[in-house]
Amino acid sequence: MFGNLFEEEESEGFSSASPKERAAKGTDEPPPPRGRSHLCGIKNQGGTCYLNSLLQTLLFTPEFREELFRLGPQELGCLEDKDKPEAKVRVIPLQLQRLFTRLLLVDQQCASTTDLTDSFGWNSSQGTNQQDVQELNRILFSALEHSLVGTSGSTFIHRLYHGTIVNSIVCKECGNISQRQEDFLDLTVCVCGVSSLEEALWNMFVEEEMFEGTNLYCCARCDRLVTAAKSAKLKKLPPFMTMSLLRFSFDFSKLERYKETGRYSFPLTINLRPFCEQTDGDDTDFTYDLFSVIIHKGGCYGGHYHVYIKDIDELGRWEPPDEDCKPKTQIKIKEVKEVCEPKLQEDDPLSVLTTIISQESPKSVLIDQLGQKLMDKIGSSWSKKFRRQYGPIGKFLHSHSDVFMLVSNGTRVALKANPPSPATECPAPADKATEPTAAGSATSDREQEIKPEGSHWFDLNDSTVTSIRESDIEKQFQGKESAYMLFYRKTQLFRPSKALNNPLYKVPSQLIQMAQDENIQLQQKREQFEASNNTVELQLHLAPFYRLDNGALQPISTEPSGITALSFDRRKTVGDLRLTIYQMQELWEGDMALTVAKSLPAGLHLYNTLTADDVSLYSVGIHTNSDLFVWNGREVCGATVQTGAEWEPVLLTVVRPFLGEDFEQEAQNGIECKQSKCENGGPGLKREARGFAGGATLVEVREALGEPKESLLCQRQRGGKGGEQGAGEGGGASGWRVFPPDDMHRTLKDLSLKDGDALLVLEPESLDSR
């Protein structure tokens, strides 16, 4: 009937990392440690949030947890023997013990339920097809009871959770009472048409159903149809009461499912005496405290479960939710603003101007913008509103020098430190002195809240655990996200002081040892993963193997002997790296500087030098495949090296006209020569790739090329006639733009020249030939 009612929406809970993310992190990435709450979540296998919520509830039920841990290997067997035919191994309780131990003691953010669901015989598809958590509660208890048959724990589920209802029918003719008893594991209570749990229980166990009119009861004693009254009472109360709320219904007129989202309240403490057959005894015999609320978020065709749980044994570290302090701060700020900021009186220019200036973040306004801000504030200009009575705005400001002052060389107007307000006086100094006390009080309140006494509530949402307030439970009375199962515990149940803040309490020694071994393994894996994840591969370029040429560093030899590969932990400091390189280069003498380098088309270029020895490589931005240049920090082969982005070299194509008879000689020198394609013949062009420092001026470029001062440098016009390669070659100047004299003193970087750009050099003789 309910189909995929409990299938989990993709937006909640489980989400798997992409293959790229897994590859980046490594397949052996260990789980992270527990969060600030010190509590452990449970992984969502894909639609198993209903199972996670129930398991967390059972874990935080102290009596259930201790009954489970009381069963030892003598009764349950060992998982190592489960494949032996002669061995009797009770897999379900053993896996549940292990899961609870991991949730209590293993330092990981979340645990896996895969081993437990495998013990149920669930395959992968059954694990991801979400069921009803109310149904699962019965299935899990039934499977556990069946698995414990023949052990000392065979009855503990019955003792903790099973109760008895007695149904009675009283004949109104003879008074004969017909009774029938039935056991219950949980009470299924109606939501439709009622507003609270108490009202639903009243309808179930106090109100009588009458058999009358055409609907009569056949009395065995009277042997005829008679008027009768039917009622039900709670005969035996278990230590734990589970209430299953009927949130989902079926509309037979519309033939569709719907969820009851109306308000349905339930108490934190409930007295069940009015609903019981026997009402003698103390109130503690009938009183229960709420300790778990399983919540369903969503609609009829999909949703997500999470659970609010009361930490009875105070196993977690409760902190006040972050938003608790925000409203107090906001209220405080609002109160201060209401007191200190002048109240706006639109007919009073002093009130308007002081309000405008006080609301600006720098507490001052540009004088030429004051008129516009006034218009924005009151919808009218100064000239129209105030000029006739008060004169120009500048004159008004000067006439109220006790309120306003000019700052920033007379360009801005600000309020003096304590200007008199025409509408509201600011608090006196004595009042202001009370503000730190109030702030201190708020801080004190927060410090007291961080160290709470007694049990507190947490929201366990799959792998995420967060602190909540008890008042947050009221938010689950209604709406699409609302309570679905309620778990109550008898108030009279006592917890020993040894159990408080003690996750080891009653955990068997062999399971404690298992948790300790897993913690050691996890720590080792984390250390190995961190070391592997922080190891970077560096390329060390040694200065003796380089020379400065054409604005960049070039290797002296084609042999790769000047490059050394080094694997290093980026968490270590620059000083550690320098010491390691010193040890590698036994013959190194003098200072050693490590400078970040980068291979560019023009050659190797140096950027920033790592100077702070106590800073980690990670902090200075060193990553894998980084290039580092090892030198003395001043020169390479006697040549001074300019570093930094402003000196980044540019590889330009230098173009010169050439005569046809020079073709063979130029080709032998490795210079590209190209015959003209113009119909009228004429000179061709020769091209040569040359690197220049980005901080060099065109004058310096011309000098580096060995050209006389009379030579002209030209740039290809972008998007012009000569925009395509080879265009404009006919006369050597078509499609080119001559750099004006002012540009000759600008740097290549300032001129935005980039790698591959062409630079035409026109020598005096080539100009004469034209």
Query: Which positions are catalytic?
Result: 49, 304
Rounded to an integer, what distance in angstroms lies between the CA atom of residue 208 and that of residue 230?
6
Which positions ≥6 away from 530 have C-beta within 8 Å?
A: 571
Q: Which of 757, 768, 714, 766 is nearest to 736 (CA)?
A: 714
Q: What gap in Å lies between CA 297 and CA 302, rounded to an integer?
A: 9
CA–centroid distance for 768 within its chain = 71
- Long-range own/partner contacts, residues 45-48 (CB < 8 A, 24 or more apart): 45/14, 45/112, 45/113, 45/114, 45/117, 45/127, 45/128, 46/8, 46/14, 46/127, 46/128, 47/7, 47/8, 47/14, 47/127, 47/128, 47/129, 47/130, 48/14, 48/113, 48/117, 48/127, 48/128, 48/130
Report the amino acid identity of residue 366. L
Query: How many Cα atoms within 13 Å fall on the side-chain side of residue 592?
Result: 22
CA nearest to 121, candidates 143, 142, 137? 143
Q: Are 133 and 484 in contact (CB under 8 A)?
A: yes
In 148-251, alpha helices (H): 156-161, 197-205
SS3 (DSSP) at 325: helix
Place of tokens 């069921």: 131
Contact 521, 530 (CB under 8 A): no
3-state secondary structure 230-258: EEEEEEECCCEEEEEEECEEEECCCCEEE
Cα angle 166, 176, 165 (rounded to 5 degrees) comes to: 0
